Structure formats: structure tokens, C-alpha cells
Amino acid sequence: MVEVVEKFYRQELFDHYNSCTNPFIITTSKIDITKVVEYCKVHRKFYATLGYFITQTVNQIENFKYRYDENGKIYYCNQIRSNYTQMKKDDDIIGYYDIPVIGDFEEYIKEYKRIENKFFKGNNNLSDSGFDKIWLSCQPWFQFTSFVPIFSKEISIPQFIWDKYENINGKYYTNLMICVHHGFVDGVHIGKFLSQLDKNIKETLV
């Protein structure tokens, strides 16, 4: 459910940052995904697995769930869905599909497989215009130390993009780019997100 926020507690901060040419925080952080990689070596679906944990964590951090529209109204999304970027059959043309809110990890992966299958069979986008979602993408062709995505001031949907993971002394890491509106999110919230993401992965993939 999406609710209009009548009195936003960060309104002054939001107005200040939103008046800037670029009101977004765009940061890249190296995260430990050892358990994700080891799990997916057996069970596959790395893209969906890391996407699940990012979505799960976003749903636990209030500040990642605010949005605004072209009229300046601020909204709070009680539940956040996943939106994946996917290569189509043409190799250099991308498409998109949404995964509904599913708390259970195994059920989420099952639904991801179903929707991904449907996407490839029809080669059509399976995404709507709602903003109660996050944008997820993986670029596995090279590693980056920073990444600046395409963004628009009219769109407040957070973006998460990760790169080709690497093995460092027996542990696997990926660089995760996070793009969020500064009117909603500060560094402290990104810190909470990264800490909670690590906890969620380690507690689920034991």
C-alpha cells in the first residue's frame, strides 16, 4: 500500500536537496557475498538471490521507502517490490520485470523463476509504472570502483547495481552501487542498510 505523507519529518531537508541539480547520493561499497556465491554454486540464480536480500533489507529501512511525484507530493510505500533489468534475446537490448513482495526466500526465488521464464518466452517487459519498487541491475562483465547511473529528478526510485564479483583471500566480494534521493536518505541510513544486508545474508544462508 502507498500512502500520502501529509507532514514529512524531513521536509526542510527534502526541499533543500531537491532544489539542487543533482539531489541524489550515489555511492559504491564493497560487500561480502561469500555465502551468496557458495549457495548459488549449488542452487544457481545468483541475480535473484542477491536481489532478494537487497529488497528484503530495503523493506526493513524506513527511509528507503519514501517516494515523491511530479506534483511534489511525498509518499510512503509500506512494501517494496523488486524490478530487475534483464538482457533480451538480442544481447544488447534490455527489458524489465517486477517481482511481487514475497518475504519467504524460497518462495521468492520460485516466483522469480516463473516471471523470468515468462519474460524470455514473450521477450516483453513485465513491469508497471508504480514507484513502490527498487531498480536492480547487475553488470557482470567487469569490476568497477564507482558507478554513476542514469537518473532523473522526477524519479525517486532507489537504484542498486553490482559488478563482477571477485575472490579475495578465499572470500567473495562485489561492489554495490546505491543511488538514493538525499532528501530521504543520509549516510547513516546507507550504513544501516549495508549492516542489515550483511546480517540478513548470514542469517539466511547458514
CA distances 41 to 12, 36, 37, 108, 145, Å, are 47, 9, 6, 18, 25
CA distances 106 to 94, 163, 168, 195, Å, are 26, 24, 29, 23
Residue pair 50/102 in contact (Cβ under 8 Å)? The answer is no
Q: What are the respective helix, strand and coil percentages of the chain, to the nearest 5?
A: 35, 30, 35
CB atoms within 10 A of CB 44: 12
pLDDT of residue 93: 82
Structural domains in the chain plus CATH codes: 2-204 (3.30.559.10)
pLDDT of residue 90: 67
What is the per-residue burial (b if ≥16 Cβ within 10 Å, else e) of 174-203? bbbbbbbbbbbbbeebbebbbebbbebbee
pLDDT of residue 31: 98
Which parts of the chain sit beneath pLDDT 70? Answer: 90
Residue pair 134/177 in contact (Cβ under 8 Å)? The answer is no
